[in-house]
Amino acid sequence: MTTTASTVAARTAAADPVGDPSFGWRRRIAYVVLIGYALLMFVPFAWSVLTSFKTLPDSVSGSILPSPWTGEGWQFALTKLNPPIPTMLFNSALIAGVVTVTNLVLGSLAGYAFARLHFPGREALFVIVLATLMMPDQLRLVPVYLMLHAVGLTAGVGQYVGVMLISAVVGTSIFLIRQYFLTIPRELEEAARIDGAGFVTTFAKVMLPLAGPALAAVAILTFQGTWNAFFWPLILLQDPGHYTLPIGLLFFRFAGGMQNDWPPLMATVVMATVPILVLYVFFQRYFVAGIAATGIKG
């Protein structure tokens, strides 16, 4: 027992920075603060879940737990809303999925070009890409809408295409992938070229497989941002059958007579949140690794 305790103590001491006896306490304090912050951020979601299982009088009574537990809010949200929840789930998944794929494909191509290829005006063009991140959507609303309307992307199925086209590739995706490519040793590319690989083969078979963490980070950020997008879907999706979940929540809240009907509203919120939580749970390690690596080199 003494030997085991001594071994553990020696390993702990070796892990702490030499000459900094307060490191262990600071680390514990950091853990407590982070766990407390995580629990604080979890409270609104927990409140939404619990409220979705309450009755309407119970939801405004101030009680924490439902009394009694009921699924009437979920039943109402799944069967009596118009447009129905499955339709809006499909619309959100379709738009978010297509936009995620286009950002991965186009963002990886552009990121590789900015990181590895040398062409006139590369740095100036990259600055322009970054500048687009500083331009609010409200500033370009009128010209973008007029252009989409001129090519027929503001009516019918074209509404889907218009929303997808606006977010087909964003500067954040290019920036993150470009930063990750800069961290990959050039010796790998040189070895591929010695073996006779060209730029396309080197990109597809050498660089792209190594950029998995960055691609995962871009996929999660893009899918989450598009799934929760509100501004452009509100402007372009005029047909109720094309509504996404954020637009449906607005409709239910203000136009559907659910201003104070909290159980079905919270059931809809939970259904809109769960896909993002599942995505992050399965890909969080790649997301963290990708975000950490993209800040290493400028």
Residue 258's pLDDT is: 62
Residue 264's pLDDT is: 86
Residue 195 pLDDT class (50, 70, 90 cuts): confident
Residue 121 CB coordination number (10 Å) = 9
Residue 21's pLDDT is: 67
Q: Which CATH number fits domain 75-294: 2.60.120.10, 1.10.3720.10, 3.40.50.1820, 1.25.60.10?
A: 1.10.3720.10
Q: How does pLDDT run across 71-89, given as a tens digit for each residue?
A: 888 988 888 888 888 899 9
- Please give the single-letter amino acid code of residue 45: F
Distance of alpha carbon 27 from alpha carbon 33, whole angstroms: 10
Q: How does pLDDT run across 23-66, given as a tens digit for each residue?
A: 778 888 999 999 999 899 889 889 999 998 998 888 878 788 88
Residue 167 CB coordination number (10 Å) = 20
Distance of alpha carbon 282 from alpha carbon 297, whole angstroms: 27
Tokens of 77: 């949200």
Residue 294's pLDDT is: 57
Residue 3's pLDDT is: 45
pLDDT mean over 190-199: 84
The pTM score is 0.80
> Cα dihedral angle (108, 125, 220, 35), rounded to 10 degrees?
130
pLDDT at 14 over 60: no
Give the percent of the chain with pLDDT over 70. Answer: 86
Integer CA distances (angstroms), 72 to 45, 51, 103, 140, 255, in order: 19, 11, 40, 43, 21
Q: How does pLDDT run across 263-282, given as a tens digit for each residue?
A: 888 888 898 888 888 887 87
Residue 126's pLDDT is: 92
Distance of alpha carbon 251 from alpha carbon 257, whole angstroms: 9
N- to C-terminal Cα separation, the chain:
50
Of 10, 27, 232, 66, nearest to 74 (Cα)?
66
Helix extents (H) in the chain:
2-15, 23-52, 56-59, 72-79, 85-116, 122-131, 141-150, 158-166, 171-183, 186-194, 199-202, 208-210, 212-227, 231-236, 245-250, 262-294
Averaged pLDDT score across all residues of the chain = 83
Residue 295 pLDDT class (50, 70, 90 cuts): low
Give the percent of the chain with pLDDT over 90. Answer: 24
Residue 35 CB coordination number (10 Å) = 10
Break the chain into its structural domains and give their ranges: 16-71, 75-294
Distance of alpha carbon 225 from alpha carbon 103, whole angstroms: 12
Distance of alpha carbon 221 from alpha carbon 283, whole angstroms: 11
Residue 174's pLDDT is: 92
Greater confidence (24 vs 5) lies with: 24
